[in-house]
Structure 1
Amino acid sequence: MLTNQAPSSKHPNIYEFTHGIRETDFDRFNVFEYLKETEDSFTQPAYVFEALARNLYQVREVKEIYNKRKEFDLIIIDSFINDVAYPFVHEMPFIVLCGMGLEPMHSAVMGNVLNPAYTPSMQYLWNHPLSLIQRTFNIFGSIHFGFIYKHWDPVPVVQTQINKLFPDLPSLLELERNVSLTLINSHYSIDMTQPLLPSQIEVGAMHCRPGEALPQDIAQWIEEAEYGVIYFNFGSMHKGEFLPTKYRNIMIEAFTKMKERVIWKFEKELEGLPDNVIIRKWLPQQDILAHPKVKVFITHGGLLSSQETIYHSKPVLAIPIYFDQPKVAAKLQRAGFGIALNLKELTVPLVVDSLNEIINNPKYAEAVGKASLILRDQKATPIDRAVWWTEYVIRHRGAPALRSTGADLSWVEYLCLDVLVLVHVGTFTLFWVSKKVLALACRVNKKKKTE
């Protein structure tokens, strides 16, 4: 496993190494400071892509693995903004992991163009069905996003650096088209139902599992909670120390007004905490969510956290911060699983009222409970599906039988634009010839009458 994270597995069958490129060290990435400088939560600084592409293959271990890549049976790469990894898959069978769920742009690469009449692009949070205006914006927004990504930034930026290192390689976009299979972090029970190819496998909530025994101090804190527990975690990427003091104080004051106990994932000591709040640098999230005394989960709206809260049947108070989180949070609210709030509009009464509404109104727990039953009701577990299909691609040396013929067509051919042009030209030609023939017949007829 090649990542920008410190090794986390002690399994003897797994070897992890960190490339160590400083620009991708998101442990120190202060998203709140970044959002002060831009209103676009869907972008990353361009220098990150350029630095990664320029430096990745200069790392000794990365270069060694790259030179030995043909010794592997299979390569798996993440799909989103990871074009820098495509040199690894040249002349190799590979699988793409769509960690953010079904991505229209990557689905189109596989030959399955999703219909923008009902498939929203990343930047929009619209409810279904889409109105005429929304569908219009959605179509042009999808085209714009795909064009910018592949022809402006980041792909051309990465391609320029890759060309310097590997001048004989096919283009990144050409390498991408050779994908054998996609493992998609989604499931129709909690996401939009979409038509999929045999090579597109849903493995949403693959990481979810039944709860296990909690550490003794956490278990005791929960068990002794007379009115239940509120669990608060903004994920691994958003460090608590970076949360602006204004919002931190709002949450602390709101907790003083709650009768429930609170477990808060926060990396540093905090002063002025009420007696009903404890903080920890790290928490076993799924084990906490699985406990029946946990009444509500305050989350940033990360996709994995949202899957865990549905799997463990816990309503949410979603306070999204960045990237796809507003979209995930809006989806949770639309499904009736909880309430989504805007971070910039937080007030103590708003937080308190929202928590009390979620805890005391059974409709939220009932809605997420029904979704949990459907999500768990599967013939095979997502992890078993992922393993089986991964080994299938290995057994069949890339599984070319899964490849859609649509992946070989240009966008002009796929959308039958050439056929439409031919039909229009043919219709116009027939109309023009008919008009000329009729005109000639009229002149001949007129001449005969004159004679």
Structure 2
Amino acid sequence: MAYPFAQGVPLILVSTRGLDSRVSAVLGNVHHPAYVPNFLTDYPFPMSLLDRLRNLFYHLYIPWYWGTWSSVRNVQEEVSRHLPDIPPLLDIERNISLYLVNQNTVSGTGVPYLPSEVDVGGLHCVPGRPLPKTLDSWLKPAGASGVIYFSLGTVARGINMPTKHRDLMVKAFAALPQYRFIWKFESTLVGVSDNVLVDKYLPQQDILADSRVKLFITHRGCLSKQEAIYHATPLLVLPVFGDQPRNAMEVVKRGLGLSLRWDEVTVDLLVNSIQELINNPRYARNVRKALELARDQLQSPLERAVFWTEYVVRHGGAPQLKSPAAQLSWVEFLMLDVLAFALLLALILCLALRRSMRAAVAMLKRVEWKTKTD
């Protein structure tokens, strides 16, 4: 983050996991916790009082923890050691000219966007290419039953899966001999059935684009979800950490697939879930609808990202896109000083009214006493 600031060129931020409320707040677009969920979890709408309290807590806690104890603190120490004259990273962050958000408005909560916040969800999605010959020939015997693809991505790697869960997957796949499974796994797996192909490097989008693939078993990272929608493949989600549980809730809410918790998974539950997702047409129908909504745009995500990037460069960082709210303190933004002034004024008026009433009462008593004495 320090280099662009030091060179005096525009700073563009790309978010791979979607719209981040913390970054939006830095840019002056504070999300209302009454209806915008935090990135860790989702809530039924309208939110209950307890849900709003939880959501407010996370909206406040996550930025504080991130800026005080987590990433920023460690990075700041390292940057300051090598570049002592560079301003604090959180100050540099306020100089962001453009925020490219890996989210499509149809798949997120409808929230206000600043001109400097641009959706580019699905930017990385591309049409599938023909599969490698060895993989294509292995899939041919699948016939009408189809193929199921299983991958936990590049962060929550399959090799880190507990042995108990690994064995459970092996047994569940063996119990469904009518399907062919492609399993992305970073090592050799022992005991897999003949209907399972294991490989450490697989062309995921090309696989999902193949018409023989009926289901994607995934951790439901943001990129994997977008690829599944782009290639119209229903999802069976096994979230691991971070924003994945919330992403899984979205899949279930929109009818794009099912979600299972690792601590509740059994062979029977996994087999039944796979069969439900493949045999019930509503999931494939909902994914196709989601694809239709995602593609119904004036520009492609790539065209939008290119245009706004070049726009920011052409106009010297495009300060006209930035919100003045980014320069306000929390006291000014929430108008706490105005509220304090209004309360003080109300207090003064109340005290003045009280004093006037006491004076009026005292005057009435004097008049009454004088009348009695006369």
Give the structure-2-normalised TM-score: 0.94
Matches within 5 A, 1:2-401: 85-86=1-2, 88-90=4-6, 91-226=8-143, 227-258=145-176, 259-401=178-320
Q: Does 1:423 align with 2:342?
A: yes
Deviation at 1:224, TM superposition (A): 3.2
Q: Which residue of 2 aligns with 1:81?
A: none
Q: Give 1:197 deviation, angstroms.
A: 0.7
Instruction: For residue 221 of structure 1, report the CA deviation from its aligned partner.
Output: 2.6
Contact kept? 2:2, 2:86, Cα under 8 Å: no
1:220 partner amino acid: S
**Structure 2 stretches lacking a partner, 5+ long:** none
Q: Distance in 2 between matches of 1:157 and 1:272?
A: 44
Cα shift at 1:449: 3.3
CA distance in 2 between partners of 1:202 and 1:426 (Å):
45
Distance in 1 (alpha carbons) for counterparts of 2:189 and 2:364:
100
1:86: how far off? 3.6
Structure 1 partner of 2:326: 407
Q: How many residues align?
A: 367
For 2:349 and 2:253, locate their aligned partners in 1 and report how far apart those are by CA, in whole Å. 53
Q: Distance in 1 between matches of 2:81 and 2:124?
A: 38
1:442 is displaced (CA, Å) by 2.1
Alignment of 1:444 with 2:363, yes or no, is yes
| In 1: Cα distance, 2:78 partner to 2:191 partner | 51
Alpha-carbon distance between aligned partners in 1 of 2:344 and 2:2, rounded to the nearest angstrom: 41
| Cα distance in structure 1, aligned partners of 2:351 and 2:69 | 43
Q: Which residue identity is paired with 2:282?
A: K
Measure the CA separation in 2 of the matches of 1:267 and 1:124. 29
Deviations 1:415-446 (A, max 9, x none): 11111111111111111111111211222232
Counterpart code for 1:230: I
Partner of 2:14, secondary structure, is strand
| In 2, Cα distance between equivalents of 1:402 and 1:422 | 32
1:416 partner amino acid: M
Q: Which has the higher contact order (CA 8 A, sep 6+)?
A: 2
**Separation in 2 of the partners of 1:93 and 1:344?**
46
Alignment deviations for residues 224-271 of structure 1 (CA, whole Å, 9 cap, x no partner): 312111111111223333222211111111111111111111222222
Larger radius of gyration, structure 1 or 2?
A: 2
Tell me if the contact between 2:216 and 2:233 (Cα under 8 Å) persists in the aligned partners.
yes
Query: What secondary structure is seen at the aligned counterpart in 1 of 2:236?
Result: strand
Could you list the runs of 5+ residues in structure 1 that have no partner in the other structure? 1-84
Of 409-418 and 215-224, deviating more is: 215-224
Deviation, structure 1 residue 336: 0.8
Partners in 2 of 1:425 and 1:328 — Cα distance?
A: 46
Supply the distance in 1 between the matched residues of 2:179 and 2:129 (Cα, whole angstroms).
23
Q: 8 Å contact 1:87–1:172 — kept in the other structure?
A: no
In 1, the alpha carbon distance for the partners of 2:141 and 2:302 equals 35
SS in 1 for 2:107: coil
Cα deviation digits, residues 96-153 of structure 1 (max 9, x gap): 1111111111000111001100111233332222111110121122112222222333
Structure 1 pair 288–161 and aligned structure 2 pair: CA distance change class (3 A): closer
Identity fraction in percent: 43
CA change 1:138–1:387 in 2 (3 A) is same
Q: How much has 1:357 moved relative to structure 2?
A: 0.7
